[in-house]
Every structure is written in structure tokens, then in C-alpha cells.
Amino acid sequence: MNQIKHRETTKKIKVGSLEIGGGAPISVQSMTKTDTANIDATVKQINDLAKAGCHIIRCAIPNKEAALAIKEIKKQINIPLVADIHFNHEYAVLAAESGADKLRINPGNIGEADKIRAVVEAAKTRGIPIRVGVNSGSLETKIRKKYMGHITADGLVQSALNNVKILEDFGFNDIVISIKATSVPLLIKAHQLIAKKTHYPLHVGLTESGIPKIGTIRSSAGIGAILAQGIGDTIRVSLTGDPLEEVRVGYEILKALQLTFHGVTVIACPTCGRTDIDVVSIATEIEEQTRHIKQPLTVAIMGCEVNGPGEAADADVGLAGGMGVGLIFREGQVVRKVPEAEMVEALLDEIESMAIK
Amino acid sequence: MNQIKHRETTKKIKVGSLEIGGGAPISVQSMTKTDTANIDATVKQINDLAKAGCHIIRCAIPNKEAALAIKEIKKQINIPLVADIHFNHEYAVLAAESGADKLRINPGNIGEADKIRAVVEAAKTRGIPIRVGVNSGSLETKIRKKYMGHITADGLVQSALNNVKILEDFGFNDIVISIKATSVPLLIKAHQLIAKKTHYPLHVGLTESGIPKIGTIRSSAGIGAILAQGIGDTIRVSLTGDPLEEVRVGYEILKALQLTFHGVTVIACPTCGRTDIDVVSIATEIEEQTRHIKQPLTVAIMGCEVNGPGEAADADVGLAGGMGVGLIFREGQVVRKVPEAEMVEALLDEIESMAIK
């Protein structure tokens, strides 16, 4: 039953001081939405993201100014920076020289061998990895044609592995692979397929997932399904909007799958005709007032006598309320009985004291 | 590669006129949060949920009044109603007699054989199924003890199957099974396990998933991972708060996994340093203004020239914008070129005309 997970078999790659693959903790990535050449704005956004827990940041490098800006940006941030380059090998070389911790470029898009060699040499000299991959929106015409114009999992995997092969042929194997798609089933299938064919670590993300309300659901289902199958070494939730939201959702996916342990998880009953305490406002208040706690704790807010006591006792701290009175549980034992007005305070007391412990 | 999905092998069960299992479309369930005995409030909530697409509604039946209220409620609603009963066999019999389309009760909790027989007879007489199952919060002490007090996937499956066995011993096999847990990995594991052991349809849901912001992510990851493995015949997203949100999230999970096709799906690029049109506001406006469309259509809003044209061309309607100008795609072909101020209108024109088609 306990199969070896793909992520435990992948090659360990270093991005700055961070490890990706080989069973390393799954890292959460995001991408700046600023003009990279605007150093102040970019640094501010990166530091905000880092504070929210972002492990690796990627910046678009669409021109020389952006490539050069990396040097100054790197001085003012504390997480590894990935330079995202399309087509232009000179920007890639410049980004590496400016101190990028990883390049994201497809050698298949660069052109002549000399240009590819220049990028590989720059990466080797600096000891930085290259992420190659494919996006369903930019799959090569040649591969599309092979599948009658359709974007298939086979086609995506082939495209990604073609890029890997080019780097390997240049003697380079400090590689992370990504396959991005807008279709969740296609994304899942492509990951199942590539996991059988490679031991390079995989960067998992649904691309163009949409505005946060919908993109959160699509990303959680897609990335969640892949991670649950033991596949995926680093993730990026890509949302249209504030990148802080990407980091927050990424963490929640990892927390849900118990692939990271970080902060308070509030579980709460959905409330039903049996409920007679205000579960929604209690749960919301507890969630808001415990965000500063880094220690992993589970708090259960339950509104009835059916599943209430069981769930409350299983959590680190729990409340089983009913008829205006609540039993407060701590590590499975009832420690207090309080009226509804004191429930939030009593829960916070117990949570805070456990967090300090 | 194309394995037979568990949901294609399950027994087909009828709940009112709706089918669950045997490859039937995956249905979206919710549960009322009103006092069931309050007929007006309950009917209003059910009809609001039905309008949002809810296929099956469950009501808590904690007393005789609630059981009797079903009769009047049923007259005023158009979706099947499930009576949710704990322990009390009389409420179950009464609910069946009042016209409930399905009972949710565990025979293992009822007690003496005569009482169980009474419930089974009531269900048989009315031709209605029974959902049995287990919730990690109320797993029997006997099974907990067997696993040293731990709640395990094996234990959950055993508990569910024990309840199935009791009904089968009474000659009843019009059964739906549910396993609910607060832990996503436990939920996934239990479903993988029970899928190997039963052909009764499975009702999938994460229990006590939390306030909507977090519960949405946890449910999408958990239910999504299970559905993606071909398991699950009907789902309920359980959120602390408005049940309409449960239905909305349930649909989005099914849409993400392409297990239902319903309405407009807006995909949008996450925006980056390359973006120079306002993708966020365009995508949000398109999402809001196309909610009335039932026909499945994909709309891509892309802000740059890298992945933009590819994604935009793959969608039913697409926008690839940059430098203040946007190309509007329809079924893969560029149909118009418009300035930024006209992008939303041009997209809506194309979407509306495709929706009518």
C-alpha cells in the first residue's frame, strides 16, 4: 500500500540555499507582477511575499534592464530569485551574471547551438539550475501537428523532455521540469506520465487558472490531485490578481494534504438544523486571531452533540457547543465548560497556551 | 492507461428521479442550515439551493416535528430530499412515511434488530435508498480501540462496511456509502481502500472543512484528488456558512475536473512583468457578466504575447492583449483587433453570439 512517492525519487536540485526534489519539503513559489526593472516595486513585492512564506520568487525578464536589475534586487531580498526568460539567450546570460539563482528558459526556443551553449555555460559557471518545460498555450507546432492539432498529455511530456534532452546533450543536468496546462485533467495526466519517465524534480502549477475565486478551486483540485499521488516537488498557484493570495492558497493546499505543518488549522462543522451556537462567527474569529501562530495546531469548532465531542477531542484544542454551553477540549480532555459569550476567549486562552508550550 | 473508473462500476441507485452511481452524472448535494421544522425557512433555502444547481438536499431530522415537516416541505420543492437521522429509528420511519427520498442513518446506531427492521421495511415500502457511513469524529469506540485509539483509513472503511452488512443481512441493498473525515490524506486513503471493496455508490465529502476561505481549498484538494482517481458518485462540499457557497464550490470542482460542463469558464493569465493590459478587471468583468450563460464555453483572457495567442486560440473565445491592443479569437481564429477600452465589449459580443448559436 505504501508506494514510494515520485518526489522521494527525484534528483535534489539547489536554488540558492533552498533544495527542490529528493524528498525536500515542497516549496511554494510565486511570481512578481511588477515591472522587474522597477527595482523598488519589485523588491517590495518580493519581501511581502517572503513574509507570507514564499520560498522562491520568479521575475519576468523581458529586456536588458530587467536582467540587469536582478543585481540590485538580489541585494535587498532573502529568497532565491528565478529569472524567467523567453527566447533571448542574452538576457539569460545577463540574468545569470546578475546573480539569478535559477533560470527559466527553454533551450528549444533559443535557436542555434552556440546560443544554447552560452546559456548552459553561464548556468554552469554560477552553479545555478535551469527550469525547462512546456505550457499548453505555447506547445510547439511540430508536436501539435503530430497529435492532429490537439494538446495531449503525451505531447506536453514530449515537449518538456525534448528540452531536457537538449540540455543533457550540452552536458547539463541541473534541471527542474514544469508542465503547465489550463486543463486540470490534462495537467494530472501529463504529470502521471512524466513521473514515469523522469527523475528530475517537478514544478507543478495550473496555468491561467483564473480570478482568485475560481482559480483557487481549480488550482486546489489540480495541484492537490497531483500532490496526493506523490508527484510534485515545488508548486506555484497562479492566480489573476494579488500574488500574496497565490502564496496563501499554496500553503493551504500543502496544509490540507499534510505536506507542510504551519500554523493553526481551524476545522468547523458546516452547521445544520442541529446547530445552536454561532459556529460561523466563532470559527472566523478564531481563524483571524490565531494567524500569528506558526506552530501547527488543529482547532475544532463544533456546534452539536453528534460529531462534536469526537472531533473536538481529536483536535489539539476543541469546542463542542450546544444549548448555549460549550465544552472546551485540550488534547482530548475536557478542560472547561463555558457559556457561549465566553467561548472565543476560552478557546484563544487554550490555543495561546499550547502555542507557547 | 485508460483504467475503468470506480464510479462506472457502481450500482445505480435512485433518489427520487435522480440517479447516483453506475456512471450517472456526479450530483452536487448540500444540507439545509435551517430548523427543518420551520417549513417556510427550509423551503426557501432548498429552492434557493436548487436554483443554484443543487441536485439533492439533506435536512437534519433531530425530532418528530422535523420528520413530520418533510411532508409539507416536499410539496413545495423540486429536488430529492434526504432525511438525516441519528440513532432514533422512529424519526427514520416517520421521515420515510412523510415522503423523504432517501434516509441517512447508520443501522449500527439504531440498536435492536426490530428497530432496524422497522427502518428497512419503511425504506423498502417506499422504494427509497439508505445512506450509511462513518464520520471520523464519531467512529465507534470498538474500532478505535482495535487501532490503538487512532482513526485509520482501515477503521473508517470497516465501520462503513459493518453498517452495509447489517442492511444486507436484513435483505436491503439500496445503499449509498459515505466516509467523511476532517483529514484530507485520511479521506483520500479511505476512498482508495473502500473503492476496492464495494460497488455501492460513494458520497464524497470532507467534513468540518472550515470557514469558506480555507474550507474551499481543503475540499477542492480532497474531493478533487478522489474524483480525479475515478472514485465518487455524488459530492457535498461542507462549508461553515452559506450553503449556496457549497453548491457553487461543488460545481467548480466538477467543472475543473471536466466532470460536468456548465456555463462559462474564464481562464486568465496570472499577469507578470510582461503584462500591459488590465487582465484582472477584464477577467472579473467577463466572469460576472456571463454567469447567466448555461452553455459550456471557455474564455481566455491573456495579457502578453508569450502564452497569450496560444491560449486565446485554444479557448472558444479568447483575448490576447498587449501594448493597449487586443486580438479577439473565436474558435481559434482572430476575428477582431480592438483597443483596450473596447476589449470587454468585444469579448461579450463574441461570447453571447456563441452562446446563442
Above 80 in pLDDT, residue A208? no
Nearest by CB: A268 against B184, B240, B272: B240
Show Cβ contacts of residue B178 under 8 Å, excluding neighbours closer than 6 positions: B104, B131, B132, B133, B134, B160, B202, B203, B204, B205
CA distance A58 to A16: 13
C-alpha cell recorded at residue B217: 481549498
pTM over 0.90: no
What SS3 state is found at A344? helix
Above 80 in pLDDT, residue B2? no
User: How many angstroms from the chain centroid is the CA of residue A287?
Assistant: 21
Which residues of chain B make contact with A35, given a CB cutoff of 8 A? 273
Q: How close A262 gets to chain B, by Cα (Å)?
A: 14
Above 90 in pLDDT, residue A322? no
Which residues of chain B make contact with A135, given a CB cutoff of 8 A? 307, 310
pLDDT > 70 fraction of chain A, expressed in percent and rounded: 97
Chain B interface mutation, best of A188, A235, A242, A272, highest count of B Cβ atoms under 10 Å: A272
3-state secondary structure B274-315: CCCCCHHHHHHHHHHHCCCCCCCEEEEEECCCCCHHHHHHHC
Above 90 in pLDDT, residue A127? yes
Tell me which of B289 and A37 has the higher pLDDT. A37
Q: How close B336 gets to chain A, by Cα (Å)?
A: 20
Show Cβ contacts of residue B194 under 8 Å, excluding neighbours closer than 6 positions: B157, B160, B161, B177, B179, B202
**Structure confidence at residue A291 as a pLDDT band (50, 70, 90):** confident
Query: What beta strand segments (E) does B101-218 contain?
Result: 102-104, 130-135, 175-181, 202-206
**Structure confidence at residue B1 as a pLDDT band (50, 70, 90):** very low
The structural domains of chain A, with segments of one domain joined by +, span: 13-256, 264-355
pLDDT > 90 fraction of chain B, expressed in percent and rounded: 69
Tell me which of A27 and B267 has the higher pLDDT. A27
CA distance B46 to B36: 11
Contact criterion met (CB < 8 Å) for B275 and A135: no
Contact criterion met (CB below 8 Å) for A20 and A232 = no
Tens digit of each residue's pLDDT (9 = 90 or more) over B284-299: 899 888 888 878 898 9
Tell me which of A218 and A3 has the higher pLDDT. A218
Nearest by CB: A137 against B62, B257, B311: B311
Tell me which of B167 and B110 has the higher pLDDT. B167
CATH 1.10.1660.10 fits A13-256, yes or no: no
Contact criterion met (CB below 8 Å) for B84 and B31 = yes
Q: What value does the mean pLDDT take over residues A240-246?
A: 89
Tens digit of each residue's pLDDT (9 = 90 or more) over B11-23: 999 999 999 999 9
Q: What value does the mean pLDDT take over residues B195-219?
A: 92
Contact criterion met (CB < 8 Å) for B228 and A274: no
Query: What beta strand segments (E) does chain B contain?
Result: 13-15, 18-20, 27-31, 56-60, 81-84, 102-104, 130-135, 175-181, 202-206, 234-236, 264-268, 297-302, 317-322, 325-330, 333-339
Hey, how many other C-beta atoms are within 10 angstroms of the C-beta on A257? Answer: 23
* Residue A357: per-residue pLDDT: 56
Above 60 in pLDDT, residue A41? yes
Above 80 in pLDDT, residue A207? yes
* Residue A2: per-residue pLDDT: 58
Which residues of chain B make contact with A61, given a CB cutoff of 8 A? 273
Q: How close B317 gets to chain A, by Cα (Å)?
A: 14
* Residue B31: per-residue pLDDT: 96
| ipTM for the whole predicted complex goes beyond 0.85 | yes
Q: What value does the mean pLDDT take over residues A250-275?
A: 84
Above 80 in pLDDT, residue A261? no
Which residues of chain B make contact with A239, given a CB cutoff of 8 A? 270
Chain B interface mutation, best of A135, A206, A217, highest count of B Cβ atoms under 10 Å: A217
The dihedral through the CA atoms of A291, B214, A179, B318 has a sign that is negative
Q: What is the mean pLDDT of chain A?
A: 92
Which residues of chain B make contact with A210, given a CB cutoff of 8 A? 265-268, 283, 287
User: Would A13-256 and A264-355 be classified into the same CATH topology?
Assistant: no
Contact criterion met (CB < 8 Å) for B214 and A183: no
What one-character DSSP code corresponds to residue A241?
A: S
DSSP string, A51-104: HTT--EEEEE--SHHHHHHHHHHHHT--S-EEEE--S-HHHHHHHHHTT-SEEE
Nearest by CB: A273 against B60, B182, B214: B60
Q: How close A170 gets to chain B, by Cα (Å)?
A: 26
- What is the residue whose three cell numbers read 490540507? A256
Tens digit of each residue's pLDDT (9 = 90 or more) over A155-169: 999 999 999 999 999
C-alpha cell recorded at residue B232: 465518487
Q: How close A176 gets to chain B, by Cα (Å)?
A: 20
Above 70 in pLDDT, residue B147? yes
Bridge partners, B104 (sequence order): B84, B131
C-alpha cell recorded at residue B298: 471557455
CATH superfamily of B264-355: Sulfite Reductase Hemoprotein, domain 1 (3.30.413.10)
C-alpha cell recorded at residue A122: 553561464
Q: What value does the mean pLDDT take over residues A124-148?
A: 89
Element (H, E) at B243: helix B243-256
Contact criterion met (CB below 8 Å) for A336 and A351 = no
**Structure confidence at residue B357 as a pLDDT band (50, 70, 90):** low
Nearest by CB: A59 against B222, B246, B273: B273
Q: What value does the mean pLDDT take over residues B268-279?
A: 76
Instruction: Tell me which chain A residue has its CA closest to the CA of residue B309.
Output: A137
CB pairs < 8 Å spanning A and B: 256
**Structure confidence at residue B134 as a pLDDT band (50, 70, 90):** very high
Above 70 in pLDDT, residue B148? yes
Above 90 in pLDDT, residue A277? no
Nearest by CB: A267 against B210, B213, B246: B210
Q: What value does the mean pLDDT take over residues B243-250?
A: 93
C-alpha cell recorded at residue A239: 492566480
C-alpha angle B245/B247/B248, rounded to 5°?
65
Above 80 in pLDDT, residue A22? yes
**Structure confidence at residue B273 as a pLDDT band (50, 70, 90):** low
C-alpha cell recorded at residue A175: 534541471
Instruction: Tell me which chain B residue has its CA closest to the CA of residue A223.
Output: B221
**End-to-end CA, chain B:** 36
**Structure confidence at residue B224 as a pLDDT band (50, 70, 90):** very high
Nearest by CB: A208 against B138, B256, B269: B269
* Residue A1: per-residue pLDDT: 44
Q: What is the mean pLDDT of chain B?
A: 92
Which residues of chain B make contact with A60, given a CB cutoff of 8 A? 272-274
CA distance B343 to B334: 13
The CA-based dihedral angle spanning residues A176, A182, A183, A185, taken in that order and rounded to the nearest 10 degrees = 20
Nearest by CB: B306 against A86, A272, A301: A86
CA distance B19 to B99: 18
Q: What value does the mean pLDDT take over residues A245-273?
A: 87
Q: What value does the mean pLDDT take over residues A6-12?
A: 97
Q: How close B188 gets to chain A, by Cα (Å)?
A: 8
